[in-house]
Amino acid sequence: MTAAVRLGLVGCGRIAERGYLPAARGLPQLEIVAVADPDRERTARLLAGTDIASFGGVEELVAAGSVEALVIAVPADRHLAVARIAAAAGLPSLVEKPPACDLAEALELAALEPAPAIGFNRRFLQGIELMPSIPADSWLELELELCFQRRAWGAHAGHDEALLDAGTHLIDLAVFLTGSTPIAVRDAVVEPGCASMELELGRGRARIECATDRGYAERVEVRDRGGRTLAATATGRLRARTARLRGAGDPLVGSLRRQLDAFAAASRGQSAPVLAGAADGVAAMAAVEAARRSAELNGAEVTVEGPA
C-alpha cells in the first residue's frame, strides 16, 4: 500500500478547527503530522491528545522536513507569502479560498512552481451532487446563493468582505458546473456584508447572491434555456441541523474530506479532476475585480480580464 501523504497545516483558525482537522481524521491517504501558527496557546488547545507537531511559523515547519505537502489556511493577505515558501521547498500546496486579495496576487500564485491547488470545497459538495444531471454542451441558466452570519462562524482571524468570503465560492461553482470561463459581470452590487451580480460565462449565465450578515442559506438551481430545471439543491440552518441529527454528518467536514482526498492524489501526481487549480483561482479573482468595477459604475457591464 502507498504510504499516507504527510501533510502540514499552516494556520489554526476556525476553518482548521471545524474543518480540516476533523476532515483529515481517519483518511488513509493522508495524515496531518504538523501545524504552524503563531498562537501557541490556541494551537496547543486544538492539538491536545494528538501527536501532531506544532511550530510557530511555516519556515520552522518546512525546515523540520517532516511534511510532503501543505494546506495553507492563513488569512488571505498571507496566502501568497506562505505559498512562495511552499513552492521554494518543492512542496505541493492547497490554498484555502479566497485564493488572494486581488487578481494580481492570484496571478502570482498561478506562476509558482509547483502551482497550488485552491480550496473551493463547494465543488465537492453541490458540485459533485449536481454535475451528473447537467448536460455537457447546452446553454445553462444558474442561480446561486450563499448566506451566513459571520458572527456565528466565530472566525479566529480574518474578516474578508462577502464577495471574497462567500462570492468566490459561487463564482467558482458556476465555472465548474458550466465547464466554462467568466466573460463579463453586470448589475453588480458590492457591500462589505453582501454582494450580488450577474455573471456571463462561456456557456451560461449565473445570478449570484452572497452575504455574511444574515441567516445561513445555500441554494443552487440550474435550468436550461427554456427554463426547465435540470438540477437543484437548497439547505438552511434547520435542514442542515436535521440532517446532522439523522447521521448525515457535517457537510463542511464531508466536503473537505473529499477535497483532501483529491489533494493527496494530486500531490502524488495522480488525476484529481474536481480539485480546483491555480488557474481557477485566477478566474474567480478576475470575476471579483470585474464585479467591483461594475459596482463602481452603477452596475454597468464589465469584461472579465483573462490571464495576460
Confidence at 238, pLDDT banded by 50, 70, 90: low
What is the mean predicted confidence (pLDDT) over 246-256?
A: 80
What is the mean predicted confidence (pLDDT) over 38-52?
A: 93
Q: Which grid cell is 14?
A: 476556525
- Report residue 296: phi and psi, to 5°: -65, -30
Position with higher pLDDT, 44 vs 238: 44
Residue-wise over 85-103: b if at least 16 C-beta within 10 A, else e? bbbebebbbbbbbbbbbeb
- Report residue 69: phi and psi, to 5°: -160, 160
Confidence at 237, pLDDT banded by 50, 70, 90: low
User: Is the Cβ–Cβ distance between 162 and 195 less than 8 Å?
Assistant: yes
Q: Which grid cell is 94?
A: 492547497
Q: What confidence score (pLDDT) does residue 241 get?
A: 59
Cα 83 from Cα 80, distance rounded (Å): 5
Q: What confidence score (pLDDT) does residue 150 get?
A: 76
pTM above 0.75, yes or no: yes
pLDDT tens for each residue of 185-226? 999 999 999 999 999 999 999 999 999 999 999 999 999 999
What is the mean predicted confidence (pLDDT) over 77-97?
A: 98
* Percent above pLDDT 90 for the chain: 87
Q: What confidence score (pLDDT) does residue 2 get?
A: 76
pLDDT of residue 58 exceeding 80: yes
What is the DSSP-derived secondary structure letter of residue 116? P
Mean pLDDT value across the chain: 93
Alpha-helix runs per DSSP H in the chain: 14-15, 21-24, 40-46, 58-64, 79-88, 103-110, 126-130, 150-153, 162, 168-178, 237-245, 251-267, 278-296
